[in-house]
Structure 1
Amino acid sequence: MMTRRGVQWISSAADDPEECREHWALDPRSPHALPAGRYFDVVAVGQRVGLETFDQLQRHGMPLGPVMADRASEQVGFFLPTWAKSPFDRMVRQETADRAPEYRYLGENSVVVVPGPMPLAGDRYIWLRAPMRRPEASLPRIAALAAMFVAASSVVARADRYGREQSAASVDGGATHAH
């Protein structure tokens, strides 16, 4: 659940912050479209990678800002400061051995549908970590997200590869093949 200061901060990004707060006062579950690039940017990643990234950041006590999920599109969005695109892109490349994992960076001229302050567990848009106040804009938070995003992408890719190999082995009757 979002705090009053969290509602103040995120609604301030709206074209009409007061209208946004009134909208949420009437229905705190209702999502709202907000422009990115004003008070925040969002890194959008696939749900499996996003949930693994979120879990690792929390488990290791790393700096973390607000995080939301869109269940219908199977995307997770990590909120970053508006100036974070260049450092985030650079840090992802530094963490990557060959090809960087897929993500979308939503900044200026983008719109993000955010959950209401009190979504229910079954809603399309939910907060994994709701804003409690204006998040700290720090390089360590950007670096932690970049590192864990690349690591989580690798874990999910390896799990998929292992699953395919096990499926192929069971189709082959459990026979192993020498390479």
Structure 2
Amino acid sequence: MTNAMWTYGVEWLAAAAADPRACKRAWDQGHGTALLEAGRFWDVVSVPERLGLLALDLLWRPSLPVPGPTLVDTAAQRVGFFLPPDPHSRWVGAGLRHAGRGSWVAVPPPYRSARFLEWLVPPDGTGVLHGPGPLEHALREANGTLAVLNSPSPDGNSDS
């Protein structure tokens, strides 16, 4: 990413904060994360890390647009996908968490990781987010792949 894209990404992400200037100061001078409210500019769907990494890989297909912002929390072993806010969203699945209006998400600045949080796809400032349809399809496909990989082999052992 270019410096201009980093700047746009910072401004775009900080706009979700109650005080964008304080948010940017926290990123630069504090412990490197800021709590931002979901539900206004974006929601976050968080899934177990293995499922999320596989789904993100599936979203990098040449026929699809570049994936939206994606964050990994290595301590919690979860991947968060930023998508358009939807107050009527019904994201359901084992281990799936939806952060919408009234939820808060800890995020590092787009230009570096902080503690256990790291951007796999940082926001570029254009406002591009994951599309709910392609994300759901990728998660279903990834879940199917993981089910096959985790199924017992004929000798009774799991492949993982």
Bin for the TM-score computed over the shorter chain: 0.7 to 0.9
Please state whether the residue corresponding to 1:127 is helix, strand or coil. strand
- Structure 2's unaligned 5+ residue stretches are none
Number of the residue aligned with 1:23: 26
| C-alpha distance after superposition, 1:72-127 (max 9, x if no partner) | 000000001112753x64xx8xxxxxxx554111001111111223325x941000
Moved more, 68-77 or 100-109: 100-109
Per the normalisation by structure 2, the TM-score is 0.83
One-letter amino acid of the structure 1 residue matched with residue 135 of structure 2: L
Give 2:51's aligned residue: 49
Identity of aligned residues (%): 34
Q: How does 1:1-179 map onto structure 2 within 5 Å?
A: 3-26=6-29, 30-63=32-65, 64-83=67-86, 86=89, 89=91, 100-120=93-113, 123-136=115-128, 141-161=131-151, 164-165=152-153, 168-169=156-157
Shift of 1:166: 6.3
* More helix by percentage: 1
Question: Quick one: structure 1 residues 159 and 20, their matched pair in 2 at CA, closer, same or farther if it must change by over 3 Å?
Answer: same
Conservation of the 8 A alpha-carbon contact between 2:87 and 2:101: no
Per-residue deviation, residues 122-146 of structure 1 (Å, max 9, x unmatched): 94100000000142368xx221111
CA distance in 2, matches of 1:13, 1:125: 18
Task: Indicate the SS of the match to 1:165.
Answer: coil
For residues 53 and 18 of structure 2, what CA distance do their matches in structure 1 show? 30
Work out which of the two has the higher radius of gyration on C-alpha atoms and give 1 or 2.
1
Unaligned stretches of 5+ in structure 1? 93-99, 171-179
Q: TM-score, normalised by structure 1?
A: 0.75
